[in-house]
Amino acid sequence: MATIKWKIENMQREITQGSNSNVVTFLHWVCTANGKDIMKSASSMGKLKVTLGSGKFVAYEDIIEEIAIQWAKDALGSDAVEKIEASVTSRVNELETPTTASGVSW
């Protein structure tokens, strides 16, 4: 069984946007699945635009990774999050219990 971990690698921000300072505009995310064997893992990564929308502004210095991860997941949508997690899990499962092999017999 793979263990899924989301991480925010970087947050791009505008120094000033309206009356707010250091407004996060892009998130660089990574979703990693780790197998039982720590050497077997698979990742998917991306960059997405985030907007303040109707949400409450959070000062840059108050943003913790859990908040940024939730923003990324919200921006991606639950269907995309499920597909990403299923994809990295499937790749780890293939590494742990391969269904194909290659090579030569000599």
Instruction: Give the end-to-end CA distance of the chain in Å, rounded to a whole number.
Output: 35
List the chain domain ranges: 3-50+60-96
Give the pLDDT of residue 53: 63
The neighbouring-strand residues paired with 32 are: 5, 43
Q: Classify the C-alpha dihedral 65-17-78-86 as positive or negative.
A: negative
pLDDT 10s digits, 42-90: 999 999 998 876 678 898 999 999 999 999 999 999 999 999 999 999 9
**Model confidence, pTM:** 0.87
Q: Return all residues near 78 (Cβ < 8 A) that are at least 6 apart.
A: none
